[in-house]
Chain A
């Protein structure tokens, strides 16, 4: 399989992100307009400077028209992008390739989701006609399958493992408490989370991503022109996407302790970026913590931890704000919230702030002395049938 990457060929020169909240007072259009304006301001651009758009939304609207209309774009191409919860990163990936191809000079990737107009609790799937044999299980329950499997395989006591994943939520809430844009901004202890009622397997509501409305946007130009817009562009090092074949749900060999699509996307991304030891070469990472067990397993799939040791690395605080490799420094999906189409771009927004030294002091990483790269991981789907994005970005050209 050929996956050459476009390392150092394009760069992000502006980004914007709305607060993620239950925005009863904002429509999807409002959020998209706000994110767009914030990104343009960040790059010192006006709307007319943008040549093309990739608009990511999972279920909130359809067709590029649903972006072009509220933004009143002047005969611009707009592609609506969807790839489950990896939609936001997918939009960015497409925008990058478009600029790298030379077809456009300035592309915007913008993602948004309005989940709070439906009236139901949680994130619910679009009703596509089926033969009735499909699963109806919640995402929380599907991801909760990983806990007994991981405990069984690595002989970790189930209660201890439950505490480990609660520590992940504790970390992300600690970080989110230091982030004005996050949906949940209060610290909560792992012990308190362990006391909560289990809603899906061993998972409580606080092991699950927040359900919020929001939008985020990035502006991409060629690397050569990046410094026209900002002193500190974020150069692309790697973009990879793996769409799984669903074999995990068919093949007894899959044991639910790993997310193979994520591991494969990471391998491709590390090859594109020339990274051989992520633990020492990444300043930070934003990963898709839709549920706490997801982040645990991702530490191993992204090679931040050895197989079977992710749980002890979590307990050691390796991925905390002041740890060796800070993960989800903005609070993650857990505390920032998860407007599906926006999340991948929101992750990039944190990388943008941190690598440029613009993150608020109370959550700035201290790894920038020796490292200049960030990893963004964004997945969609379920264990066994998943799509995974991994992007790597850096402030230095190689």
Chain B
């Protein structure tokens, strides 16, 4: 392979809410916990978080740069089985129909495996990994898990400036049941801790040695290693044995975000890596994957505007009990109002540009932006004389707002605002990632892709507004 391949762009989504681990201890009477874990909002799932990460990655590209040629999505907690989840993301990213969208599902290793396959391939493949980590209350996923998504656009130097070159890597595989979960179960089970160390460490040694040999590097050449995986102790021990500086695993501020964790931590390192830094990604997941990268000059100006660190700081706590209700671990009495109807599949397909892409329409005669798009404009003009107008990246101002404590919601109350967008367009829309007391006329908002509700097991995806984070 003569062309250099690597990372053209990357992006991360760390959800806004945090669970203070000390509160788990207070509520459950268990031993003390420290730090926070990130928590996906009630209106987020692995698909919506994947969309947000992917949007941030694609936003790194300069105007006119070619976008993704393929979309691969990996999660342990897919919103759908049997039906592809990546196609929802494909629609939200407004990718061309000729771009394939595929799920690589089921296990945490799938995500890093997909990344390796994309880096070794020949296309501009956007690899998105996302996870919502749930377990039994006070268990290791509950306390130590994290929710997040990370997207990496892979490609060759012909496609544009690489932010990091992929130098190569190695993999080691073995079958052992250290951690397992059957479909439909709400938590993973594990064998005793010491067994995992025993099973993983030889695989790490093998993969590490093979990766160095394949790339002609030594441990001394490696600036920083990211070590993550399914087995906390084995990962720590493996990391210590590499003879290399190891990056913060964000366990105190995010938790272990499962399938998303490898790319998330890689992004975290790239957010501040110097040109020329060699970064090793070591993932312990049913074997060991080692990927080696070198940061380039382009990284300084090409990295995403919203770093992992910035998103870690942008947060507000959610009460443990509310978190449990959001994840369905605590069933709460709903209001005596009808639950929402399932969205119509035929109507949703007809309106996919609006529903998934937030594409409005501008009247060619009056210049008025119409949200939703319509065939007949307000204030005159011809019928069917509008230009599609993508509005997902627009920012706007709150003209008026309210808090609805009556309407059915998975997490009442509903905060609702009339948003007037910069440059035109108005949308009355639900707000999210905000506390009702903090909303005021004049507040600035941006759009975010969310799951409004699920009815008849059909997920209703659309957009909401959230306070603009800058």
Contacts and interface: CB of A to CB of B under 8 A. Distances in A.
Interface stretch (A41-49, A96-104, A123-131): A123-131
B407 A137 contact: yes
B460 A132 contact: yes
A250 B370 contact: yes
A131 B355 contact: yes
A152 B440 CA distance: 11
A interface, over-half SS? loop
A141 to B, nearest CB: 4
Interface string B326-353: 0000000001111011011001101100
Which 4 pairs across A and B sit closest by C-beta, in order of nearness? A132-B343, A141-B404, A201-B402, A129-B344
A121 interface: yes
B130 to A, nearest CB: 21
Nearest to A119: B336
B300 interface: no
B341 A249 contact: no
Interface in B117-153: none
Interface string A246-259: 11011110111000
A146 B401 CA distance: 9
A313 to B, nearest CB: 23
Interface in A349-398: 384
Contacts of A122: 337, 406
Contact of A129 (B347, B355, B399): B347
A201 B417 CA distance: 11
A200 interface: yes
A145 B401 contact: yes
A148 interface: yes
Contact of A133 (B355, B402, B404): B355
Interface of B: 335-338, 340-341, 343-344, 347-348, 350-351, 354-355, 368, 370-372, 378-379, 399-408, 414, 416, 418, 420, 424-426, 428, 430, 441, 452, 460-462
Contacts of A137: 402, 404, 407, 414, 416, 430
25 contacts: A120-B337, A121-B406, A122-B406, A127-B341, A129-B344, A130-B343, A131-B350, A131-B355, A132-B347, A132-B452, A132-B461, A133-B351, A138-B404, A140-B406, A141-B402, A141-B403, A144-B402, A144-B404, A145-B428, A146-B400, A149-B399, A198-B405, A200-B404, A252-B399, A256-B418
A205 to B, nearest CB: 9
A362 to B, nearest CB: 34
Given A121-B337, A200-B405, A251-B426, A141 B416 contact: yes
B420 A252 contact: yes
B428 A148 contact: no
B368 A132 contact: no
A142 B344 CA distance: 24
A140 B404 contact: yes
A255 B399 CA distance: 8
Contacts of B461: 132
Contact of A136 (B347, B407, B424): B407
A39 B169 CA distance: 88
A123 B34 CA distance: 47
Interface of A: 119-122, 124, 127, 129-133, 135-138, 140-142, 144-146, 148-149, 152, 198-201, 245-247, 249-252, 254-256, 384
A149 B452 CA distance: 26
Nearest to B349: A131
A191 B403 CA distance: 22
B406 A250 contact: no
A200 B426 CA distance: 22
Contact of A148 (B335, B336, B350, B441): B441
A247 B418 contact: no
B426 A131 contact: no
A247 B376 CA distance: 11
A142 B404 CA distance: 9
A144 to B, nearest CB: 4
A254 B368 CA distance: 14
A240 to B, nearest CB: 21
B430 to A, nearest CB: 8
A273 B234 CA distance: 87
Contacts of B401: 145, 148
A131 B354 CA distance: 10
A204 B350 CA distance: 39
Nearest to A198: B405
A254 B460 CA distance: 29
B378 A245 contact: yes
Nearest to A246: B378
A156 to B, nearest CB: 14
Nearest to B407: A138
Contacts of A201: 402-404
B340 A136 contact: yes
Chain B CB within 10 A, most for which of A152, A199, A251: A251
